[in-house]
Structure 1
Amino acid sequence: MTIVTVTFRGAHPKNNLRTEDTFLKVQRLDQGQWKDYLTDADFETSYGWQREGITYSKVTISWRIKEKTPQGTYRIMHLGDWKNGWDYAITPYAGVSHSFKVE
């Protein structure tokens, strides 16, 4: 089994629990468009959060690639919400990994 792991600088997941959304997406390139393939609701993915110092967080996302995964170009996206330390406003953000091939 192949495992892809990416790390992002992120924010505390309790800033927005995303109960009707996701903290991660595995996306597949399909005819020039990125299409969602998996989310944090799928068994093959995992999401980890770790505090770094007082104001930083590290988010680690892993994808356990099944043998029957379609070949193609993929990327991993992290979705989160950061809290402003001055006025406590919460703002969404997103980050994406470099694309990679599954063969």
Structure 2
Amino acid sequence: MITENNFYDYDAKYISDKTQLIEVSKDNLQFRSIVDLSIKTFNALGCSGWCRIDILEDENFNLYVLEVNTVPGMTSHSCVPKSGGFDGLSYDSVVKKIIDASS
């Protein structure tokens, strides 16, 4: 996530069109580590359906789970629909996948 500010604050999250979600190659080892940590966290907490897991990475590339959001935002500025866009999914397709996963 790249913002104009030092923090991912209200303006960066909901207002600014300059906040960027950066796509990372799925072959990237750190990406795989983040996915693995996310799945382990999801399962360890007994989550079902879907959620957004916020992970921080320090300067030594260590990963830390910050929070699990079981009702993440779905606005045009939100991470979930934007992430789906990296896989070529429309907003409606993302919503359908969420509904299917929650059934």
Query: Shorter chain as normaliser: what TM range?
Result: under 0.3
Instruction: From the two aligned structures, give the one with the greater strand fraction.
Output: 1
Provide TM-score, normalisation by structure 1. 0.27
Calculate the TM-score normalised by the size of structure 2. 0.27
Q: Which has the higher helix share?
A: 2
Q: Greater RCO between the two (CA within 8 Å, min separation 6)?
A: 1
